Every structure is written in C-alpha cells, then in structure tokens.
A = this chain, B = another copy of it.
Amino acid sequence: MSVEPGSVRPGGRTARVRAAVLDAAGDALAEHGFAQLDLADIARRADVGKTTVYRRWGTVTNLVADLLLDMAEQSVSRADTGTLLGDLTANAHLVQRTLTDPRQGPLFKAIIAAAISDPRTAQALRHFYETRINEWAPCVTLAIERGEVPEDTDPHEVIRAVSAPLYYRLLVTGEDLDEAAADRAAQAAATAARAGTYHRSHS
C-alpha cells in the first residue's frame, strides 16, 4: 500500500482503506473459511480502525458481498483469439489457474460454501458470475458472426459450460484440476456449441 507523496487523489484514503480491508477479508476467508470471519480481526489484519470497518460494512455478509463486487470489477478481460475454441480455452485456463491458486482456490471454496446456506452471499456470488459471464459472452457472439456456431446459440450457456466441469471437480469429486481438464472443458463446450446443443430455445 505504498503511495507516492502527492499522488493521493480525493477519495484516495477511502479507496485504500477498502482495498486493505478487502485484502484482509480475502486472506481470512482463504485461511479459516466464512464461519470464522470476524470484523474486528479483519480490521486488525488490515491495520484499519475497528470503528471504520463496522461503520462501513456492518456485517461480515456485507463485507463478503463487497469483496465479490471488487473481484468482479477486477476480473480479467475476455480473450479475442479469432476462434471460439481459442477463446474458450483461454477462459478455461483462467478459471483453472484461479481455482488452483493457493489463495484464490480456498477463497472461492469458502465463499461458495457460505453461499450454500446464506441467501445474501448466494446473491452476491451470482452477481459475480453474471459479471464474468457477460464479460466473456462476446466470444460466442463473435463465433456466431463468423458462422462457427448456429445463430440461436445462447452465449451465456456456452460460457457456463466451460466453467461447470472445473467447478464440479473443485467442489464435488475433488479430482486434479490440471491444464488438461481445462483444455477438455473448452473443447467439449466448443464441440457441443458447434453441434447446436446450446440453442436459446432449450433454456
């Protein structure tokens, strides 16, 4: 959090406090899970006054929702490789790297586990995935324009199909989440999309 003298813009402190607190919340979630989250502990980790944290976020649920908002804002822009398979493979590798990252993997698991029993966290999580899916959906729209997939293909459904096997491994079967799994997820989604499986009318 080093800031050059004179570089602090209006609102700079607020933004820095938010970044420090969200970082600390992410660390705490990755280390101990949602059930152990505690605003006072997060304030200590972030080296921010407890009162500031309570006033700004109030509850751990609000804080996690804000963390997901920040993660959505900072999520990686879509690829544009010129082919659907190329773009979906780039997306699959991004998901695979995120879910196997020593900090991000446990963080996602903790948030998803919390969302299973907490509707407010579930809503924030859905919003995060909507943002990510909206970001990557144009890869499919471009593939429609190039004639790679049928015109009535549902772009969101194709993007979700890439992620599904990777999250299924992470959350359910516990198998290795390697690059081969990512390649295969992208290939399966591209093949099914080309064959017309993801027609809008099916949803």
Q: Which residue of B lies closest to A166 (CB)?
A: B164
Q: Is the CB of A188 within 8 A of B184?
A: no
Query: Which residues in B have their C-beta under 8 angstroms from that of A195?
Result: 191
Query: Which residues in B have their C-beta under 8 angstroms from that of A203?
Result: 180-181, 184
Query: Which residues in B have their C-beta under 8 angstroms from that of A25?
Result: none
Q: Which residue of B lies closest to A32 (CB)?
A: B117
Shortest CB-to-CB span from A114 to chain B, Å, is: 8
- CA separation between A62 and B87, bound complex, in Å? 45
Q: Is the CB of B160 within 8 A of A165?
A: yes
Query: Which residues in B have their C-beta under 8 angstroms from that of A109?
Result: 116-117
Residues of A within 8 A of B (CB): 33, 35, 109-110, 112-113, 116-117, 122, 125-126, 129, 157, 160-161, 163-165, 167-168, 171-174, 180-181, 183-184, 187-189, 191-192, 195, 197-198, 202-203
Assess A122 versus B174: contact at CB under 8 Å? Given A113-B117, A164-B168: yes
What DSSP secondary structure best describes chain A's contact surface?
helix
Cβ-neighbour of A192 out of B173, B174, B191 (below 8 A): B191
Enumerate 30 A-B pairs (CB-CB under 8 Å) in ascending A order. Answer: A33-B117, A109-B116, A109-B117, A110-B116, A112-B116, A112-B171, A112-B172, A113-B116, A122-B174, A125-B174, A126-B173, A126-B174, A129-B172, A129-B173, A157-B184, A161-B165, A163-B168, A164-B164, A164-B165, A167-B167, A167-B168, A167-B171, A180-B203, A184-B197, A184-B202, A184-B203, A187-B192, A187-B197, A188-B198, A192-B192
Shortest CB-to-CB span from A148 to chain B, Å, is: 15
Query: Which residues in B have their C-beta under 8 angstroms from that of A171?
Result: 112, 116, 167, 171-172
